[in-house]
């Protein structure tokens, strides 16, 4: 099968890229080694977060925030989004000072979406919060969506635009033949002049085939869901001194994360929960909301993600392979960026440049690290 663009990876990055390209009359094939939403794109926390982004990500995150506000215009669905704001809570003077420094940094870059608030505004927004907190960093525009709903919306939109999607189709090899990329899979060969690597936790395999390996590390952030509770909180809660992400969903359940990682087997695509680390997240919630100490946890899960050493993604053109592009390594915070990353890749492919600054995300920023690693004898 042949198209204009061949996209490896059927998660949000892959389908967002396909949607933006197809809207500009570009024929796309999306290949996925598993079923839709099997890994990170379908089982993440759904955070629509500008708050506390790496400085290099801020321009992309701000642009993405605007796109999520109007996401129905792009994919014919609101993806079950809500925008109650997000807080990063300080529990002592040291943490408060670090948040003030962060707010000053963001202002120095010309952005105003992060603001410091004192205890008066904090407890007005979150009256159930434990009384020892001393302030917070707030982004009033932040929120969350439902990851699987979003992925399904992007996938349906892509297919309505003529994108061909092939699930359960692992790519075993890629080869440049004349002016085309040839991908070898268990279901035959697929060809296109342009290749896009959106393979998530498996992206380094594709990057290595293209001659530019990266120090990607797979990880599996864990989530917990509680029983249903009466409504008591609106904003998403994070903490300056704890690994914590905490929100109450529309159905009353609490979704609790904290960047604690499960055990994983990348070859099998499986994860195993680490209950000791999950207990740390639970204790963090009880410290900030003591009234929740008897709440039951009813299920938990972990999705495979790609982490980079500097915690920012790889986005852009290959430096070794003509007609190849990358978007991976979002280090467990790619959900919010997905609409804008698809737009960026479509611009790179069709126009040769992006309207947003992506220089910090070049794949060759790791070249020296990989050289040093390959020089170490076993």
Residue 258 belongs to domain with CATH number: 3.30.9.10
pLDDT at 377: 34
- Residue 39: pLDDT band with limits 50, 70, 90: low
Predicted pLDDT at 36: 73
Using DSSP bridges, classify how beta strands 236-239 and 86-90 pair: parallel, antiparallel or unpaired. parallel
Q: Does the structure show a pLDDT above 60 at 376?
A: no
Residue 336 covered by a domain: yes
**Boundary residue ending a domain (245, 267, 302):** 302
Q: What is the DSSP string of 45-95?
A: --EE--TT--GGGHHHHHHHHHHHHTHHHHHSS-TT-B---EEEEE-SHHH
Q: In the chain, what percentage of residues exceed pLDDT 90?
A: 84
- Check: CB of residue 27 under 8 Å from CB of residue 323: no
Q: What's the pLDDT at 369?
A: 61
162 and 279 assigned to the same domain: no
Under the banding of pLDDT at 50, 70 and 90, the label for residue 264 is confident
116-172 residue pLDDT tens = 999 999 999 999 999 999 999 999 999 999 999 999 999 999 999 999 999 999 999
Please check whether residues 296 and 232 belong to one and the same domain.
yes
Give the pLDDT confidence score for residue 375 in this predicted structure. 38
**Which stretches of 119-250 are DSSP H helices?**
119-125, 147-160, 203-209
Question: In this predicted model, which residue has the larger pLDDT, 284 or 374?
Answer: 284
Q: pLDDT digits over 298-307, tens only?
A: 999 888 899 9
CB 80 within 8 A of CB 151: no
Distance from C-alpha of 4 to C-alpha of 23, rounded to nearest angstrom: 13
151 and 298 within one domain: no
Strands (E), 284-333: 297-302, 305-307, 314-317, 324-328
Angle of CA points 54, 145, 60, to nearest 5°: 30
Asked if 262 and 304 count as a contact pair (C-beta separation under 8 A), the reply is: no
| Mean pLDDT lowest among 188-192, 225-229, 280-284, 306-310 | 280-284
pLDDT one-digit tens code per residue, 95-116:
999 999 999 999 999 999 999 9
Check whether residue 352 and residue 225 sit in a common domain.
no
pTM as predicted: 0.94
131 C-beta neighbours (distance < 10 Å), count:
7
Percent of the chain with pLDDT over 70: 95
Please say if the pLDDT value at position 43 is more than 80: no
Say yes or no to pLDDT of 197 above 90.
Answer: yes
Domain span at residue 330 reads 5-61+147-215+310-375
Nearest residue to 20 (alpha-carbon basis) of 64, 86, 85: 64
Is the pLDDT confidence value at 286 over 50? yes
Q: Is residue 68 part of a domain?
A: no
End-to-end CA, the chain: 41
Residue pair 245/257 in contact by the 8 Å Cβ criterion? yes
In sign, the C-alpha dihedral spanning 98, 108, 313, 51 is positive
Q: Residue range 234-238: average pLDDT?
A: 97
The total number of structural domains that make up the chain:
2
Tell me the CATH number at 31: 3.50.50.60
**Average pLDDT of the chain, as a whole number:** 93
The rounded distance, in Å, linking the Cα atoms of 84 and 139 is 9
């Amino acid at each position: 099968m042949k198209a204009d663009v061949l996209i490896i990876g059927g998660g949000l990055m892959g389908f967002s890229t396909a949607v933006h390209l197809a809207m500009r009359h570009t024929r796309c094939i999306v290949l996925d080694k598993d079923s839709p939403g099997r890994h990170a794109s379908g089982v993440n926390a759904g955070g629509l977060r500008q708050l506390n982004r790496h400085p290099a990500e801020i321009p992309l995150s701000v642009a993405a925030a605007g796109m999520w506000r109007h996401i129905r215009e792009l994919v014919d669905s609101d993806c079950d989004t809500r925008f109650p704001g997000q807080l990063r809570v300080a529990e002592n003077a040291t943490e408060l000072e670090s948040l003030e420094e962060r707010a000053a940094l963001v202002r120095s870059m010309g952005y105003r979406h992060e603001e410091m608030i004192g205890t008066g505004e904090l407890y007005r927004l979150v009256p159930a919060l434990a009384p020892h907190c001393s302030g917070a960093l707030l982004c009033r525009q932040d929120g969350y969506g439902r990851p699987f709903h979003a992925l399904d919306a992007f996938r349906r939109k892509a297919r309505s635009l003529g994108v061909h999607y092939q699930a359960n189709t692992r790519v075993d090899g890629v080869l440049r033949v004349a002016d085309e990329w040839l991908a070898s899979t268990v279901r035959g060969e697929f060809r296109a002049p342009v290749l896009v690597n959106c393979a998530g936790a498996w992206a380094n395999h594709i990057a290595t085939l293209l001659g530019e390996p990266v120090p990607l590390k797979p990880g599996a952030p864990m989530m917990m869901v509680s029983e249903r509770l009466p409504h008591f909180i609106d904003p998403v809660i994070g903490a300056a001194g704890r690994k914590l992400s905490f929100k109450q969903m529309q159905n009353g359940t609490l979704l609790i994360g904290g960047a604690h990682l499960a055990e994983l087997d990348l070859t099998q695509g499986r994860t195993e929960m680490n209950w000791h680390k999950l207990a740390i997240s639970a204790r963090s919630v009880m410290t900030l909301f003591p009234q929740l100490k008897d709440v039951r946890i009813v299920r938990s899960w972990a999705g495979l993600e790609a982490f980079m050493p500097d915690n920012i993604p790889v986005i852009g053109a290959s430096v070794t392979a003509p007609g190849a592009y990358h978007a991976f390594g979002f280090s467990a915070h790619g959900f919010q960026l997905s609409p804008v990353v698809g737009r960026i890749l479509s611009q790179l492919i069709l126009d040769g440049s992006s309207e947003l600054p992506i220089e910090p995300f070049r794949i060759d920023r790791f070249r020296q690290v990989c050289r040093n690693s390959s020089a170490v004898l076993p």
